[in-house]
Structure 1
Amino acid sequence: MTSVKRSTASSYASSFSSDLPSLSILSMDASPERAQMCHSALSALRRVPMSLSLSASMRAGTASSPPMSLSAEAAARITSGAPLCRYLNNVSVGYCAVRRCFSFSVSPACLNISFANSENPLCLCIVTSLWMKTGFMSIIAYLRGNSNRIMPNYKVGLKKSTFSGIIKLVYTLEPLTRQNSDRWGALILQCRESTAFQSLAWRDALDSAFKQLTPVYLLIQADDTVIGGLPAFVFQPIPGIKLWHSLPWNLFGGVFIIDSVQVNFAELMSTVETYLENASAEKGWCERRWTFSPQHSETYGGLLSEMGYERTERFTHLLPMNRDVDALWHAYNKRVRGAVRKAEKSGVSVTHTEEAAELASFYEMYLTTVRRLGGTPKPLSLMRTLMRRNLAKLAIATYDGTIIAGLLYLHFNRTVTLWCEASVPEFLQYRPNNAIFHYIITWACEAGYDWVDFGASPPENRGLIAHKEQYRAKRFDFCHYTKVVSPMRRALWTQSEGILRKLYTRMQS
């Protein structure tokens, strides 16, 4: 009789199935016969290696079964077939009934799932590799969405059963190479916070335009599945000085995780930091610097501070789109609306252009503007590449056939980023910059973008800040996190940076 039951249990293990591919389903009841079946089922499920440790106990009156355990190497892989809910025993249909049978909590290192049955018996289901891919809440959503499919096919006389499972998340990092670079584009579009600066087009453009910048992008994996990425460059301005930045130029970098994936941030950042420490020692990076978006600053900032990074606060201005151009227009400060009307009445016309000659005219104007403001210009080759890769657009304002202002902006995923702006001071009385800003905001709204990023501002430049806020752009704080690995080499770069930037600016003229 026992051998028959063992065979039945093995067939249960091989036929257990659901619409969710990686799920272990274990049934328990208090009778010795059923307990033996469960033990046999566990033995049959020892097939796929996995980071899973289980322990369970069953008790019914005076009858009890020996403790059951699944080692760290044991796991179950369920294939397609009958629905998951078929193996719920006499459980009232509906989400609420199922929800009462289990609870879960997340600790810094693992997910804890506890099942307890006080009224109705329940076949215990444990999330395995699926947790690392889509999260435990997807199981609840599955049960809720398929409550009408809960069809008990047998009854057991379980009085009390408890189970606890612990799944520890393990993350790995893989360098992005030519062979696997196609995986980056798909994942970064699934990250709501991603902008043009995390795209492959941006990486390739910088790699081509600057010999001093070397991309060191990483794919983040959990359970052999890519769940995110880390964009970064190593900046080597002079021999012997290497700085790891995610990203250069105070642009948003950091860790980007696919929105549908839940992660243990502490465990993930510990893995990343260990990797970076080893790379710093091996490759001689004298500094590591993160620049996080406003949302990511809240998510990861505290963890990096605990790891010894020094925090620097900055802010940007973001304008949320609401798919209503008229509403955006009426939200502008009345001075902005008046300036846009004046530009139109003065004969200022704003258009997009892809003409090489007009880009060259804009660039000459841009160099003059940057020198006047004391900045460091971006190279023309970079702008050409970004426009060719359809990551950037150039909006120009013309007056009487002459280009008097322009703005090169980036567009990717959900965000339009205002980037390189230039104007001729003699024509500012016609308000070409206001006209260009309104033109781009209107385009972004009609094209379905969610945000227009006006960029970071120096805290002391109150005029620039006031200009951005006249469009009702809102201030959002973000942070840099810096760890100096070699103070001597970092000090050398600090002393030489100003001179090298001046030389570079002259070379662009």
Structure 2
Amino acid sequence: MLSGELPDADCPDTYFTAGYGRASATARGGDWHCLRWRDELLLPYVVNAVHDGLYDAASPYGYSGIHVAPGRGGGDLARFWKQVKEEWRDRRIVAMFFRFSPLDLDSLHAVAALDDIVLTRRGDTIAVKVDEGLDALWDGLRSSCRRQVGKARRAGLTARARPAVPHDVMPGAPFRTLYEQTMRRVGSAAAYLFDDDYYQALVAGLGAGLVIVEVADADGRIVAASLVFAHRDRVHYHLAGSDGTSAALGCNNLLLWTILSWAAESDRGWVHFGGGLRPDDSLFRFKETFGGCRKQFWTGAAVLDPVAYDRLVRERAAAAGSTATQLKDSGYFPAYRFGVGLV
């Protein structure tokens, strides 16, 4: 028998909580749901309409997938997955896209035994272990990173971390302004410019688990800021931006160092910085300078209704002046959303 969400405090990570899931669904215009078996198998997902009464689904944006509790047998997972598919087919969900947690490869390995989820390695992310003290953290930074943090401090930059409040994410607030300017400066897709409803849902849903980290110049002006998720022993770097001119002063290095030191002082275990826009790009290499280790990021694809899926791909191919084979070979999933947008 499948049941719904866990209390947020009992979830293994932020991305499994109802608070985050509903915020993520708000951003994508879908509906958040969660399926679980006891407290041992947990599957959050967001459902989006396609057309003609058909739907698809995806993990909430970020890193969740299916959580499999340590020691849980493959037979239980197989039975759970069978029931999940039956429920989804009854709801006319055509396909499911999973984003698995780089911090939980044991769950990924368990899911790999399921024949009808196709796994793809997307690249690596950076995670830093922060429970060995500030001195060990500082020593783990590359020398170039330490120099940049020192440069920022000599320039009079200061930083702090605190729980976020609604005002922090209002239009025109320093974080919103810096983040949106940064996204436009780097030519980011429009999907990464979130609306007010998303930010307010984050504040309401995550409470003290939503942390804002800010870097100020000598005049008190905020020149870099980040929203961070904190849940149990894990901290996730979510969104960040800077004014562009202060980057040369090391403001971004000071920003990430403050996240690490705050996490260590808050008795967390890991800070997950995520990856780059592309494997091993300049953003990824910047995150590498903070020490830590590479973690594998995998996605999964499951076609639940092959007949409907193939029809949707053919229709999309015809509209795009392409072929169904070309869309399927693109690597985008679901293939019928190629060029349309994320699930």
Short-chain TM bin: 0.7 to 0.9
Name the structure 1 match of 2:196.
380
Q: How does 1:201-240 map to 2 (within 5 A)?
A: 201-207=19-25, 209-210=26-27, 212-221=29-38, 226-236=39-49, 240=53
CA distance in 1, matches of 2:108, 2:337: 33
Q: What is the distance in 1 between the residues matched to 2:160 and 2:175?
A: 13
Alignment deviations for residues 95-119 of structure 1 (CA, whole Å, 9 cap, x no partner): xxxxxxxxxxxxxxxxxxxxxxxxx
Change (3 A) 1:434 1:211: closer
Of 289, 299, 315, the residue aligned with 2:109 is 299
- 1:69-108, aligned counterparts within 5 Å? none
**Cα distance in 1 between the residues matched to 2:8 and 2:90:** 29
Partner in structure 1 of residue 213 of structure 2:
395
Residues 403 and 277 of structure 1, relative CA distance in 2, 3 Å threshold: same
Contact 2:212 2:226 in 1 (8 A): yes
1:279 to 63, 82, 87: 87
Residue 199 of structure 1: aligned partner: 17
1:173 lines up with 2:2 in the alignment: yes
Q: What is the Cα deviation at residue 397 of structure 1? A: 1.2
What SS does the aligned partner of 2:267 have? coil
Per the alignment, residue 149 of structure 2 pairs with 340
- In 2, the alpha carbon distance for the partners of 1:277 and 1:355 equals 39
User: Does residue 481 of structure 1 match 2:300?
Assistant: yes
Q: What is the distance in 1 between the residues matched to 2:33 and 2:44?
A: 7
SS of the residue aligned with 1:173?
coil
1:253 corresponds to:
65
Residues 227, 477 of structure 1: alpha-carbon distance in 2 compared, 3 angstrom cutoff: closer
User: Following superposition of structure 1 onto structure 2, how do residues 425-504 of structure 1 map, counting pairs within 5 Å?
Assistant: 425-484=244-303, 485=305, 486-489=309-312, 492=316, 494=335, 498=339
Give the Cα–Cα distance (whole angstroms) in 2 for the partners of residues 238 and 430 of structure 1: 50
**8 Å contact from structure 2 (residues 40, 72) kept in 1:** no
- Measured after TM superposition, the shift of residue 196 of structure 1 is 0.9
Bigger-Rg structure (1/2)? 1
1:249 CA displacement: 2.6
RMSD (Å) for aligned C-alpha atoms: 2.5
Which SS does the other structure have where 1:336 is aligned?
A: helix
- Deviation of 1:187 after TM superposition, in Å, equals 3.9
Contact between 2:131 and 2:270, CA under 8 Å: does it hold in 1? no
Identity of aligned residues (%): 19
Task: Show CA shifts across 1:72-105 (max 9, x none).
Answer: xxxxxxxxxxxxxxxxxxxxxxxxxxxxxxxxxx
CA distance 1:445–1:233, change in 2 (3 Å): same
CA distance in 2, matches of 1:211, 1:330: 40
Residue in 1 aligned with 2:321? Answer: none
1:496 Cα deviation after fit: 5.6
CA offset at residue 453 of structure 1? Answer: 0.3
Q: Is the 8 A contact 2:165 2:203 kept in 1?
A: no
TM-score (norm 2): 0.80
Q: Which has the higher contact order (CA 8 A, sep 6+)?
A: 2
Equivalent-residue separation in structure 2 for 1:302 and 1:282 (angstroms):
25
Post-superposition CA distance 1:192-222 (Å, at most 9, x none): xx22111232124335x3473212211303x
TM-score, with length taken from structure 1: 0.55
Q: Which residue of 2 aligns with 1:328?
A: 137
The CA deviation at 1:386 is 2.5
Equivalent residue for 1:369?
182
Q: How many corresponding residue pairs?
A: 307
Which moved further from structure 2: 329-338 or 314-323? 314-323
- Could you tell me whether the CA contact under 8 Å between 1:202 and 1:386 is conserved in 2? yes
CA deviation digits over 1:320-363, x for unaligned, max 9?
A: 11331011101110111110111111011212354655542211
CA distance in 2, matches of 1:173, 1:281: 15
Q: 2:328 matched to which residue of 1?
A: none
Q: 1:344 to 1:241 in 2, by over 3 A?
A: farther
